[in-house]
Amino acid sequence: DADVTQTPRNRITKTGKRIMLECSQTKGHDRMYWYRQDPGLGLRLIYYSFDVKDINKGEISDGYSVSRQAQAKFSLSLESAIPNQTALYFCATSSAATYEQYFGPGTRLTVT
């Protein structure tokens, strides 16, 4: 089984709808991250969490919110989706002991 899973893998939604993307991990890592990937661009950090009570904004957090329900679960919400939030979204995890981040398979989100 994959160490980092994301649901759904693909989602099409309409402008103005609320949508939640979920991430779960079995690696036992404290740190979790949400990134966004746009065509021709690298990944950009939306939010990160060092533990259940420590959540921080990344470089592009406007229009997004997150919830760390447990050490293993970190969800990303779009309160009112807009078309320029159409992108590939990745969850990642890491331990505090190393710099390596482990990525989920991604969620392709289309906002029409």
Partner 1 sequence: GEDVEQSLFLSVREGDSSVINCTYTDSSSTYLYWYKQEPGAGLQLLTYIFSNMDMKQDQRLTVLLNKKDKHLSLRIADTQTGDSAIYFCAETPQDSSYKLIFGSGTRLLVRP
Binding residues for partner 1 (CB under 8 A): 4, 31, 33, 40-45, 48, 50, 90, 92, 94, 96, 99-106
Tell the smallest beta-carbon distance from residue 86 to partner 1 (Å): 17
CB of 69 vs partner 1, minimal distance in Å: 20
74 or 90, CB closer to partner 1? 90
Q: What is the CA radius of gyration of the chain?
A: 13
Strands (E), 1-112: 4-7, 10-13, 19-25, 31-37, 43-51, 54-57, 64-70, 73-78, 87-94, 102-103, 107-111
Which residue number, 40 or 70, has a Cβ lying nearer to partner 1?
A: 40
The amino acid sitting at 28 is: G
If the CB atoms of residues 16 and 60 are measured against partner 1, the closer one turns out to be 60
